[in-house]
Structure 1
Amino acid sequence: MAELNQIDLQALTKGDKRTWDAFVLAAAPLINAVVRRTLTSYRVGEDDVMDAAQDVFVRLCAQDFRLLKTYDPARAGLPTWLSVVARSCAIDHMRRRRQATEPIDDVPEAFLGVEDRHVEKLKIPEGLLTARQVLILRYLYDEERDVMEVARLLSVDAQTIRSTHHKALLRLRAHFREEDPGDRG
């Protein structure tokens, strides 16, 4: 079994089957452990743990190894980077997992309260946010994407997404605080 740090990443990202097999053998114990630890609080079964671990490998090789190609050895060791990816994938796996539902016909109308739960979408004044801030808010909230996914879509570092998101929220809070007459003492 090869060590993770001995894997030829160039051969791996070019689709070499032997390198991929060696990578899977070397990475599986780490990925399984991280996924299992991440999902402990969700109280899931072994099948969910194995499915989530499989999702990690699928995500690593999807779109011609796009995620794996983002690995930068100058920023972190491969085991550390894989741990972060595995944790993120495990959380995403649980978010996508369908919860048991009850047929709508079996739920009394009084409990539905559809009109009471309707929330109008926030209207952001033109020019308050930059185009990039609006785009990031749309990805994060309207499309419910996670930070890493948005970072990959925009080809920027995840911290850039977090920072832009934070600055947009600060602007929105400041704007709506000024506009709210209830805040004036």
Structure 2
Amino acid sequence: MTELSQIDLQSLAAGHKRTWDAFVVAASPLINAVVRRSLANYRLSEDDVMDAAQDVFVRLCTNGFRLLKTYDPARAGLSTWLAVVSRSAAVDFARRRRQATSPIDDVPESALAVEDRHVEKLKIPEGLLTERQALILKCLYDEERDVAEVAQLLKIDAQTVRSTHHKALLRLREHFKEEAP
């Protein structure tokens, strides 16, 4: 049995059948394992998992082995590169297999089981958050603005908005965790 490291990549990318066959035998265990692990949470059938693994090989040889030709041994080992390609292909496969959804406007309200209750607004103790944290939470949640809008409004970097938001949530979690019975 041929090892992945023994595969002649130039011959493989040139489309030689014997080299391709040896590559498939050598790469199958790795590709199958990565695809299986990547799809473990998608609840797909065994046939779907095998189809996803087959899809990896199809991607590698499509368009004159275009994807395979992008492999750069200076950046990663072949098995590492194949694992990344396999995971990406598996996730794409699972996304294509997702069940079709209906627009929410087409679903009867009774099927949604939505209750029309007003949620009580969380009362944040005075002084728990900084003024900036409180303002950012107000903009993000009360005014339903996105991070870019808040950053533009406050004339700060979007990463500052995300960081401040994160720190505010940490403070809130810590405070309300202490109050819980």
SS of the residue corresponding to residue 93 of structure 2 reads helix
Find the aligned partners of 2:154 and 2:13 in 1 and give their Cα distance: 49
* Equivalent residue, structure 1, for 2:3: 3
* Equivalent residue, structure 2, for 1:39: 39
Please list every run of at least 4 consecutive aligned residues from structure 1 whose deviation after the TM superposition is greater than 6 angstroms. 109-112, 169-173
Q: What are the ranges of 5 or more consecutive residues in structure 1 without an aligned counterpart?
A: 113-168
- State the one-letter code of the partner of 1:47: D
Shift in Å at residue 171 of structure 1? 6.9
Q: What are the ranges of 5 or more consecutive residues in structure 2 without an aligned counterpart?
A: 113-145, 156-160, 162-181
- State the one-letter code of the partner of 1:94: A
* Equivalent residue, structure 2, for 1:94: 94
Find the aligned partners of 1:42 and 1:14 in 2 and give their Cα distance: 35
Find the aligned partners of 2:47 and 2:7 in 1 and give their Cα distance: 28
Find the aligned partners of 1:34 and 1:3 in 2 and give their Cα distance: 17
Structure 1 stretch displaced more, 12-21 or 36-45: 36-45
Find the aligned partners of 2:91 and 2:14 in 1 and give their Cα distance: 28
Find the aligned partners of 1:171 and 1:48 in 2 and give their Cα distance: 39
Shift in Å at residue 45 of structure 1? 1.4
1:19-44 residue CA offsets vs partner (Å, 9 max, x unmatched): 00000000001000000011111122
Alignment identity in percent?
70
Question: Structure 1 pair 172/11, CA: closer, same or farther in 2 (3 Å)?
Answer: farther
1:113-165 residue CA offsets vs partner (Å, 9 max, x unmatched): xxxxxxxxxxxxxxxxxxxxxxxxxxxxxxxxxxxxxxxxxxxxxxxxxxxxx
Shift in Å at residue 2 of structure 1? 0.6
* Equivalent residue, structure 2, for 1:121: none
Find the aligned partners of 2:48 and 2:30 in 1 and give their Cα distance: 17
Question: Structure 1 pair 177/44, CA: closer, same or farther in 2 (3 Å)?
Answer: farther
Find the aligned partners of 1:171 and 1:109 in 2 and give their Cα distance: 33
Shift in Å at residue 176 of structure 1? 5.4
Shift in Å at residue 99 of structure 1? 0.5
Shift in Å at residue 174 of structure 1? 3.3
Normalised by the length of structure 1, the TM-score is 0.58
* Equivalent residue, structure 1, for 2:151: 174
Bigger-Rg structure (1/2): 2
Query: What RMSD over aligned residues (CA atoms) do the two structures have, in Å?
Result: 3.1
Normalised by the length of structure 2, the TM-score is 0.59
Find the aligned partners of 1:174 and 1:49 in 2 and give their Cα distance: 43
Aligned length: 123
SS of the residue corresponding to residue 79 of structure 1 reads helix
SS of the residue corresponding to residue 53 of structure 1 reads helix
